[in-house]
Amino acid sequence: MRRIHIKQGQIIDPVNNINRFGSVYVAGGKIVSVTNEPAGFKPDTIIDAHNQIICPGFIDLSVRLREPGQSRKATFKSETVAAASGGVTTLCLQPDTSPVIDTPAVAELIKELAEKAGYPQIYPIAALTQKLEGTELSAMLSLKQAGCIAVGNANQSVRNLLILRRAMEYAASHDLLFMFRPNDYWLGNNGCAHEGAVATRYGLPGIPEEAETIALAQCLELVELTGCRVHFGQLSCKRSVIKIYQAKKYGLKVSADVAIHQLHLTENDIIPFDSNYHVLPPLRTETDQQYLREGLASGTLNSICSDHQPHDIDAKLGAFPETASGVSSLETLLPLMLKLVAEHAITLEQGIASLSGNPARVLHIKSGALTVGFAADVCIFDPELEWQVNSDNWKSQGVNTPFWGQTLKGRVTHTLQAGKIIHCLEKSG
């Protein structure tokens, strides 16, 4: 493997409390030194990071890559290129693939697809229940042994609380993380927008925040009962933040993330005929958004995810409620995080931690830091470089983003995964 000298950059590594200018040295796929040049180090490659930031590679807790089963929408190849261009070096794949990740054979297939795409750090999330139907538990231990990093039910509700309890007991007995997006099926009522003034004005079926908060409260009760380690994904409202704060205060083993678009968009941004604003959970109120930002700043919400969901054009055609939900968002993750910093919602160190060290802590993996001996997962970005979200710059096969055509600030110039350069921004880009 190449020996790489990343020189003259601002090194920010929140896990190790590093924020200083200097160099990072990579050899054998690992970090061998930060700031101090190792004796006799002769680099094969030198990366000039002048006026740039060197930080740990990003870890995304929730993505869809559309393979296996929906390669017309996207592929491992297209989306891992998008991930690399966004500084993301580790992906957690939701289990709602086709077939569902509910057998070791499918988990093995995921690993094969990842290797073939040249991006091996894709962790499958195993289905909590078979076929995500919420009736019969999956073989969690076998799935863990096959490489699944956690269990979850994607966006599907587990409607029977006894089954949810048994699943959490099973997960706890094997020290498996349960990744849960709280959503009550019946209260959700197949809605597509936040239940409020905007949904009423446009005649859109609404989803009340209680669909999230009641499901979250039920799960918190079961956390206390079962001792299961739970990560709550893609929270969207004020009362969810308050409940997570209270749960942490009383010592429950919980963590939580928020999707990046929820920190920038609200129901007031929805253009009624533009399905790029159709997301689940829905965009909520300005008060909810402010609480999400404050929750991130306080550490109540410890991670940001992209919740990347690429779609083809057909999936986004038609009336707003009839379209598929989700945003293609890997490539806007960094600039939108930097926008939070520019708006003084969080510090740069908090933003980087929420994309690297904190997700690594949730997953219990040795990553998300520039620690000597760790795999050299590194993101190098220019925080001042402006670029337009358009077909000239976009890598993902899904162009379903509400930020299309906008000019954003902050771009990744180099991404290293286990010491291998998997992205290098062209000079003309």
Does the CA dihedral 229-347-366-126 come out positive or negative? Answer: positive
**Catalytic position from the list 184, 307, 377, 382:** 307
CA distance 214 to 187: 9
Quote the crossing angle between the two packed helices 161-173 and 210-226, to the nearest 10°: 50
CB 410 within 8 A of CB 385: yes
Respond yes or no: is residue 13 known to be catalytic.
no
Beta bridge partners of 195: none
CB 371 within 8 A of CB 31: yes
Angle, CA 362 vertex, CA 357 and CA 363 arms, to 5°: 95
The type of residue at 173 is S
Task: Count the residues in the chain.
Answer: 429
Please state, in angstroms and as integers, the Cα–Cα distance from residue 176 to each residue in 131, 247, 317, following that order: 19, 19, 39
Question: For residue 24, what are the contacts with CB-CB under 8 A and spacing of at least 6?
Answer: 5, 6, 9, 11, 31, 33, 34, 35, 54, 370, 378
CB 138 within 8 A of CB 127: yes
* Other Cβ atoms within 10 Å of 321 Cβ, number: 15
Catalytically active residues, by annotation: 307
